[in-house]
């Protein structure tokens, strides 16, 4: 199978097994992908120079006249390589034929006529450069013409010829006629060139889109690598510690969720992101899942900062003492709402609950850092709890 | 017993859910993509479909569209007229993005829970949906409160575009993590009344043209 594939592939020639890898190949004419006799192709292989350079150099030399002798001499003297199937590259032949034709016209014509040829040369060089830069896939797509494209090209060519004929055959005297002729020529060029330009434009567009997509993919891959893979490694390493595994998984889930679904928000600036951030910290630290729901949002100020501290204290308490009464998994719900100028935060657990009046007066946690803090800042805190029913801390503050 | 069809493209997740639900419901079918789901639902006519939001072939919304189709008697009911027992949909997803949640509810699902839900909670949610009630997670309640927040824009249909004070209170309690029973106790109403309020919110959610809702729905091209 392999050898068949190789002989069918007319671009690549199987390496000669006896040849040293780094020695330049012998000077041989190559019949595969040749234009005339395969001289340039063989020469390029032998000298290690780009094929295009050799070909253009020969085209220039032939156009100037001297190259013809050199080419014919090489054709006769250099043996043809026998192990490849001859195949002529017609499009290239056409391109270099035109190049040689134009150059010959330069050497053979007078000075005044040359001026007329300059725009043609400039245009030709431009097209040549674009053609050379494009990869084979693109070239094939440009050349593969649909019927409408052929018709268009024929119509365009007819217009160009008609316009040129008008220039050349009539002895043009009037400005009007000049304009008419030019317009016809331009219209012809437009008709021929537009579909090609459009196709090129689409190609560029596709390429740009593909680039953006691959950038996005790269970003996702980077994120997955930095966070998820890292966490998975840590989980494997901590497999013996279920609590740590749960904490890691939960932290990773939160992180991924935030990345996927939540708009980037600044926890220093606004209430809702700040509440999420604080609960994430408590969750991380105590290994208890906290479900956060935020409705509305407002910018942070000093008093709201104090309120957040109180909320944090309440979350810590809930995470510590909110363990399920009947052995169920502890869970903490946090709900923050901004309604007009009223801000409310609820922290609820489903733990054992406690008798509020039984809490000693000197216990700092609840009294000082939650109730006291809220009152100092002009808000209020309310704690509802009963044995067996869990605890809910309700914080309220009027925005200034 | 409640007959349930499980639609999720992850085999592992399906078996996990089956194990969690145990004998509390009867799993009559499973599906891994949209086409399969539509087929299985038509063949088995379950009471409840547990529907993943993200599915190959168009997502949960596409299943809702094809099953409920143009023949549904009322968007909130989600039942075809000729069916004796209507099939109801409970969306189940890892995503808690507003676009996904609101999108699938507006597509006709009677409830939305995240995949982190515990087995017993899921069983009770299935039971509630089977009876024609709605199931709101705290987060969904939060989205609804956000979407129906007071705005200056005049509403076209006040009956649909605004929540009553009572509905708002119920939603707030759901968002705070209260179960229906606890809400009933808190507001001195019966559990049935709580369910009525939630169903009425669900109807508004599906039919209202409020800007936020249509925007969220449009974000997934579901309008």
Nearest to A308 by CA among A340, A345, A280: A345
Name the residue with tokens 């497999």.
Answer: A239
Residue A330 in this model has a pLDDT that exceeds 80:
no
Choose between A228 and A263: higher pLDDT. Answer: A228
A348 vs B118, B150, B176: nearest CB: B176
Choose the mutation target among B176, B185, B215 for the interface with A, i.e. most A CBs under 10 Å: B176
Residue A70 has phi, psi (to 5 degrees) of -60, -45
Q: pLDDT above 70 covers what percent of chain B?
A: 85
A294 touches chain B (CB under 8 A): yes
CA distance A210 to A91: 30
Residue A88: φ, ψ to 5°: -95, 140
| Separation of CA A218 from chain center | 8
Q: Work out the percent of chain A whose per-residue pLDDT is above 90.
A: 4
Q: Per the structure block, which two tokens stand in for A326? A: 């009947």
C-alpha to C-alpha distance for B177 and B141, rounded to whole angstroms = 10
The answer to whether B175 contacts chain A (CB < 8 Å) is: yes
β-pairing, A391-398 with A380-385?
Answer: antiparallel
Surface of B (34-53) touching A: CB under 8 A: none
pLDDT at residue A21 in the model = 46
A392 touches chain B (CB under 8 A): yes
pLDDT at residue number A19:
43
In degrees rounded to 5, what are phi and psi of residue A355?
-90, 110
Give the nearest partner residue to A295 out of B97, B146, B177, using CB atoms: B146
Residues of A in contact with B172 (CB under 8 A): 335, 337
Question: Do A377 and A400 contact (CB within 8 A), yes or no?
Answer: no
User: Which helix (DSSP H) or strand (DSSP E) does residue A175 occupy?
Assistant: helix A175-223
How many angstroms separate the Cα of A100 from the Cα of each of A49, A104, A125, A140, A190?
A: 21, 6, 13, 24, 26
Residue-wise pLDDT for B1-12, tens only, equals: 888 999 988 888
Cα–Cα distances in Å, from A354 out to A333, A385, B173? 18, 6, 21
Q: What pLDDT does A395 receive? A: 92
B54 touches chain A (CB under 8 A): no
Query: Is B118 touching A (CB cutoff 8 A)?
Result: yes
Tell me how far apart the alpha carbons of residues B55 and B10 are, in angstroms, rounded to a whole number. Answer: 9
> Is A385 touching B (CB cutoff 8 A)?
no
Confidence band, pLDDT 50/70/90 cuts, at residue B171 = very high
**Which tens digits make up the pLDDT trace of B157-166?**
667 777 888 9
| Percentage, residues of chain A above pLDDT 70 | 71
A324 close contact with B: CB closer than 8 A = no
How far is the alpha carbon of B42 from chain A, nearest alpha carbon, in Å?
A: 33
pLDDT exceeds cutoff 80 at B108: yes
* Contact between B63 and B91 (Cβ < 8 Å): no
- The structural domains of chain B, with segments of one domain joined by +, span 3-219
Q: What letter would DSSP give residue A80?
A: B
Tell me what the mean pLDDT of segment A256-285 comes to.
81
| Average pLDDT of span A63-67 | 73
Residue B203 vs residue B223, higher pLDDT: B203
CB contact under 8 A, B172 and A294: no
Residue with the larger pLDDT of the pair A120 and A258: A258
Contact assessment for residue A336 and residue A394, using Cβ atoms and an 8 Å cutoff: no
Spatial separation of the C-alpha atoms in residues A325 and B157, rounded to whole Å:
46
Q: Residue B23 in 3-state DSSP?
A: coil
Q: Please determine, for residue B194, whether its predicted confidence score (pLDDT) is greater than 80.
A: yes
Give the pLDDT score at A356: 67
CATH number for B3-219: choose from 3.40.50.2020, 3.30.413.10, 3.90.850.10, 3.40.50.2300: 3.40.50.2300
Please, which residues 51-70 of chain A have a Cβ atom closer than 8 Å to chain B?
Answer: none
Q: Average the pLDDT over each of A74-78, A112-116, A204-208, A374-378 and give the range with the smallest value.
A: A112-116
Most confident stretch, A82-86, A88-92, A286-290, B207-211? A286-290
Task: Considering only the C-alpha atoms of chain A, give the largest distance between any 2 of them, rounded to a whole number of Å.
Answer: 116
Q: What mean pLDDT is predicted for residues A293-305?
A: 87
Q: Which 3 state secondary structure label does DSSP give A191?
A: helix
Confidence tier at A334 by pLDDT (50, 70, 90) = very high
| DSSP states along A270-307 | BHHHHHHHHHHHHHHHH---EEEEEES--B--HHHHHH
So what's the pLDDT on residue B21? 86
* Cα–Cα distance measured from residue A220 to residue A258, given in angstroms and rounded to the nearest whole number: 14
The yes-or-no verdict on residue B38 having pLDDT over 70 is yes
The model's confidence at residue A357, banded by pLDDT at 50, 70 and 90, is low
Average pLDDT over residues B115-139: 86
DSSP for B50-92, written as a single string: EEESS-TTT-HHHHHHHHH-TTBS-TTT--BTT-SS--EEEEE
Residues in A 107-166 with any Cβ partner in B closer than 8 A: none
**Structure ipTM:** 0.79
Q: How far is CA B125 from CA A251, B45, B62, in A?
A: 27, 19, 22
pLDDT at A335: 93
- Residue of A179 and B136 predicted with greater confidence: B136
What is the arithmetic mean of pLDDT over A33-57?
Answer: 79
Average of pLDDT values for A129-133? 67
pLDDT for res A14: 43
Tens digit of each residue's pLDDT (9 = 90 or more) over A317-329: 888 876 654 555 5
Residues of A in contact with B178 (CB under 8 A): 348
Cα dihedral sign, B72-B77-B80-B82: negative
C-alpha–C-alpha distance, residues B64 and B111, integer Å: 13
What residues in B contact A335, CB-CB < 8 Å? 138, 142, 172, 175-177
Q: Please tell me if residue B146 touches chain A, with a CB cutoff of 8 Å.
A: yes
Q: Which of A128-132, A176-180, B76-80, B96-100 has the highest mean pLDDT?
A: B96-100
* Section B142-150 average pLDDT: 83
Both tokens of residue B137? 């997670």
pTM: 0.59
Partners of residue B6 on adjacent β-strands:
B30, B50
In the prediction, which pLDDT does B76 show?
Answer: 42
**How many CB atoms lie under 10 A from the CB of residue A14?**
12
The predicted model gives B151-156 an average pLDDT of: 63
Assess contact for B201 and B167: CB atoms under 8 A: yes
- Substitution target in A289, A290, A335, A353 with the highest count of B β-carbons within 10 Å is A335
Q: How many CB atoms lie within 10 A of CB A208?
A: 10
Angle A275-A277-A278 from CA coordinates, rounded to 5°: 65
Q: What is the mean pLDDT of residues A85-101?
A: 73
Do B145 and A392 lie within an 8 Å CB cutoff? no
Name the nearest CA neighbour of A185 among A151, A156, A214.
A156
- The answer to whether the Cβ–Cβ distance between B95 and A293 falls below 8 Å is no
**CB count in 10 Å sphere of residue A292:** 22
Q: Are B135 and B128 in contact (CB under 8 A)?
A: yes
A346 has a pLDDT exceeding 90:
yes
Contact B139 A291 (CB under 8 A): yes
Nearest to A349 by CA among A326, A321, A370, A369: A321
**Each residue's pLDDT tens digit, A142-194:** 666 566 767 777 777 777 777 777 666 665 566 666 677 777 778 877 877 77
Q: What is the mean pLDDT of chain B?
A: 81
Tokens 């097994």, residue located: A17
pLDDT at A15: 44
Taken in order of first residue, the domains within chain A and their CATH numbers are 1-133 (no CATH), 141-261 (no CATH), 265-398 (3.30.565.10)
pLDDT attached to residue A95: 74
Of A257, A261, A333, the CB nearest to B138: A333
Question: CB contact, 8 Å: B65 with chain A?
Answer: no
Which of A249, A250, A293 has the highest number of chain B CBs within 10 A, making it the mutation to test binding with B?
A293
Q: Does A281 have pLDDT greater than 60?
A: yes
Mean pLDDT of chain A: 75
Please give, rounded to a whole number of angstroms, the shortest distance from the CA of A126 to a CA of chain B.
46
User: Looking at beta carbons, which residues of chain A come within 8 Å of B102?
Assistant: none
């Amino acid at each position: 199978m392999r050898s068949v594939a190789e002989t069918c592939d007319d671009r690549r020639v199987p390496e000669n097994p006896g040849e040293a890898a780094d020695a330049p190949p012998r000077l041989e004419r190559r019949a595969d992908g040749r234009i005339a006799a395969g001289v340039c192709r063989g020469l390029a292989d032998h000298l290690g120079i780009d094929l295009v350079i050799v070909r253009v150099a020969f085209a220039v030399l032939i156009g100037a006249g001297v190259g013809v002798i050199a080419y014919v001499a090489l054709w006769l003297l250099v043996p043809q390589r026998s192990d490849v199937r001859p195949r002529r590259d017609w499009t290239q032949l056409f391109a270099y034929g035109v190049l040689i034709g134009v150059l010959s016209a330069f050497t053979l014509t007078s000075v005044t006529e040359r001026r007329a040829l300059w725009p043609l040369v400039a245009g030709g060089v431009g097209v040549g450069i674009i053609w050379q830069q494009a990869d084979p896939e693109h070239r094939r797509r440009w050349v593969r013409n649909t019927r409408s494209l052929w018709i268009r090209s024929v119509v365009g060519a007819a217009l160009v010829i008609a316009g040129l004929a008008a220039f050349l055959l009539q002895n043009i005297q009037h400005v009007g006629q000049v304009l008419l002729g030019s317009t016809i020529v331009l219209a012809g060029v437009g008709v021929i060139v537009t579909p090609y330009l459009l196709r090129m434009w689409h190609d560029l567009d596709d390429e740009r889109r593909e680039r953006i997509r691959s950038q996005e993919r790269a970003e996702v891959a980077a994120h997955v690598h930095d966070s998820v893979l890292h966490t998975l490694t840590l989980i494997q390493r901590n497999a013996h510690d279920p609590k740590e595994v749960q904490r890691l998984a939960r932290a990773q889930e939160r992180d991924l969720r935030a990345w996927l679904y939540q708009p980037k928000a600044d926890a220093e600036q606004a209430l809702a992101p700040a509440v999420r951030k604080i609960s994430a910290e408590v969750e991380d630290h105590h290994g208890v899942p906290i479900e956060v729901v935020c409705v509305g949002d407002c910018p942070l100020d000093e008093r709201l900062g104090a309120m957040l501290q109180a909320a944090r204290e309440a979350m810590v308490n809930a995470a510590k003492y909110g363990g399920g009464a009947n052995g169920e998994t502890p869970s903490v719900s946090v709900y923050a709402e901004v309604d007009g100028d009223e801000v409310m935060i609820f922290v609820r657990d489903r733990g054992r609950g406690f008798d509020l009046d039984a809490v000693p007066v000197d216990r700092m946690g609840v009294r000082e850092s939650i109730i006291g803090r809220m009152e100092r800042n002009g808000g209020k805190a309310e704690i509802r709890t009963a044995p067996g029913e869990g605890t809910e801390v309700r914080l309220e503050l009027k925005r200034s | 017993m409640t007959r349930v069809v499980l639609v999720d493209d992850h085999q592992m997740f399906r078996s996990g859910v089956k194990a969690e639900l145990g004998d509390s419901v009867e799993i009559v079918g499973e599906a891994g993509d949209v086409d399969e789901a539509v087929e299985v639902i038509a063949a088995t006519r379950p009471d409840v479909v547990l529907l993943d939001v993200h599915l190959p072939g168009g997502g949960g919304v596409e299943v809702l569209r094809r099953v409920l189709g143009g023949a549904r008697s009322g968007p909130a009911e989600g039942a075809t007229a000729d069916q004796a027992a209507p099939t109801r949909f409970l969306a189940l997803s890892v995503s808690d993005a507003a676009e996904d949640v609101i999108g699938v509810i507006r597509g006709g699902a009677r409830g939305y829970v995240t995949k982190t839900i515990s087995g017993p909670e899921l069983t009770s949610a299935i039971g509630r949906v089977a009876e024609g009630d709605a199931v709101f997670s705290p987060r969904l309640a939060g989205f609804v409160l956000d979407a129906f927040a007071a705005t200056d824009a005049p509403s076209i249909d006040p009956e649909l575009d605004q929540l009553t004070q009572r509905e708002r209170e119920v939603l707030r309690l759901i968002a705070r993590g209260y179960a229906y029973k606890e809400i009933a106790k808190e507001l001195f109403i019966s559990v049935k009344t709580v369910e009525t309020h939630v169903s009425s919110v669900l109807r508004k959610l599906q039919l209202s043209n409020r800007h936020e809702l249509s925007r969220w729905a449009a974000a997934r091209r579901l309008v």
